Amino acid sequence: MARVHNFSAGPAALPTSVLAEIADEMMDYRGCGMSVLEMSHRSSMYQQIIDDVEATLRRLLSIPDNYRVLFLQGGATLQFAGIPMNLMRRGRAGYIVTGNFANKAYKEAAKYGEAVLLASSKDTNFDRIPTMADVNARIAAEAASNGLDYVYICQNNTIFGTMYHELPNCGDVPLVADVSSCFLSQPLDVERYGLIYAGAQKN
């Protein structure tokens, strides 16, 4: 069979050894008599899987002990609402809109409070990340005047091909980042963020 390699921004090619292991375990995961798809999420076997995944993520990303790792349903898009519903405590958050998904998150956040547009490259069809000095000045001014619960970015914009190479300076305001399309592709200084999230199927 001819193998096709998908190099798109979403799901991509996997090593054949990984696919072979998945196929082998589809009927019987490690001798438990069923596949992962069939077992209870409360079972000890499934708990071992989750514990191993979390330990691996903590090792690969050097996630400090004071950060929680959550495995949630709904994909990354669910967090467009989940983040303001949980973090917009005073009802005001800043958004830097640099692409399709940041724009969707910004529009969704406006349903739950004041979504402050800190910067955007929409006027030039998202061809760049806004100048960080201007972004930092705006964050400082908004935080000092009416306060911000968090600052939101989409760190890598696959549709438009732009990526942050410098993070905004948010001071005491937590930085929230959608890292779906760059997750585990480079080191992340986790302590620079209040929250990072990624859709597991993306990268």
62-121 residue pLDDT tens: 999 999 999 988 888 999 999 999 999 999 999 999 999 999 999 999 999 999 999 999
Q: Which domain holds residue 124?
A: 78-197
Same domain, 146 and 184: yes
Q: Structurally, how many domains does the chain consist of?
A: 2
Residue 181 pLDDT: 86
- Positive/negative CA dihedral, 129, 132, 137, 139: positive
Answer whether residue 67 is part of any domain.
Answer: no
- What is the pTM (predicted TM-score) of this model? 0.90
SS3 162: strand
Same domain, 46 and 146: no
Answer whether residue 202 is part of any domain.
Answer: no
Answer whether residue 92 is part of any domain.
Answer: yes
Strand partners, 95: 117, 152
Answer whether residue 71 is part of any domain.
Answer: no
Same domain, 192 and 102: yes
Same domain, 193 and 115: yes
User: Considering the chain, what is the average pLDDT of its residues?
Assistant: 92
Same domain, 88 and 47: no
